[in-house]
Structure 1
Amino acid sequence: MSVRRVVPNVPVGGGGAGSEASALRDNAAFYGMLGFEEVMNHGWIMTLASPTQPAAQISFMTRDETGPVDPDLSVEVADVDAVHAALVREAAEIIYGPHDEEWGVRRFFVRDPNGKVVNVLTHR
């Protein structure tokens, strides 16, 4: 199974739409000073990446738009369905999905041995 990237999902905001948007902007400005640039922003999740190392990314999330919980990190894989099948065979706790999301990914959530929620995805 091929891992394409791993992205931490940092929770932000929580005080309403205005403060959530402000929290995303504040993080974009701060991490911009470290060299990160915005590569995705859905209003509830924003991902910043290094322009010279595009797989070096960090996401800031106000809440997950469709999932039942907010994932702690995201792992992009080459074949999300194969990873899902392997985890189901091992009786891993699947929390959500697999589901085709309107923003162009197929994903599922799984709980790791530490209790962290991992968003496993493939871009369609």
Structure 2
Amino acid sequence: MTARRVVPNVRTTATGMRRSAEFYGLLGFQEVMNLGWITTLASPTAPEATQVSFLTHDLTAPVVPDVSVEVDDVDTAYAAVLESGAEIVYPLRDEEWGVRRFFVRDPAGRVVNVLGHHRPAGPSAPEAPSAP
């Protein structure tokens, strides 16, 4: 299993989300995802590496995670975390917006959203878009 990217998550209000998008736009970030409760901004030249997300809440989980880590095999990551005895904050599940994820508490007490993107079946299917 390999980590693919790390995205900081910032809890905010709806007004704060809009103001953050405007502010980070001054630094060259562009909106790449907006689900209403979460907005992700990214660099237009390195979107897979340079991202930040702003959340008013989490649609299905009990808490807003502090950071999101995309991995290439979320099931293997989940098995490793379970075996380690770390606290699972939100169990592994498929979300309607195209990710498979779980939340775990790290040793410093931060909640980590560990995720992988659903890949449609078939050799010609496009890759799912990036989203926390």
Answer yes or no: is 1:7 the counterpart of 2:7: yes
**Which secondary structure state, in structure 2, belongs to the residue aligned with residue 103 of structure 1?**
coil
* Structure 2 stretches lacking a partner, 5+ long: 119-132
CA distance in 2, matches of 1:80, 1:68: 20
* 1:13-92 equivalent positions in 2, closer than 5 A: 13=13, 20=14, 22-54=15-47, 55-92=49-86
> How many residues end up aligned between the 2 structures?
117
Counterpart of 1:17 in structure 2 is none
SS at match of 1:95: strand
Structure 1 runs of 4+ aligned residues shifted over 6 Å read none
What is the TM-score of this pair, normalised by structure 2? 0.86
Aligned residue in 2 for 1:102: 96
- Write the distance in 2 (CA, Å) between the matches of 1:94 and 1:87: 8
Gaps of 5+ in 1: 14-19
* Cα RMSD, aligned residues only: 0.7
What is the CA distance between 1:111 and its match in structure 2? 0.2
TM, length-normalised to structure 1: 0.92
* Equivalent position amino acid for 2:5 in 1: R
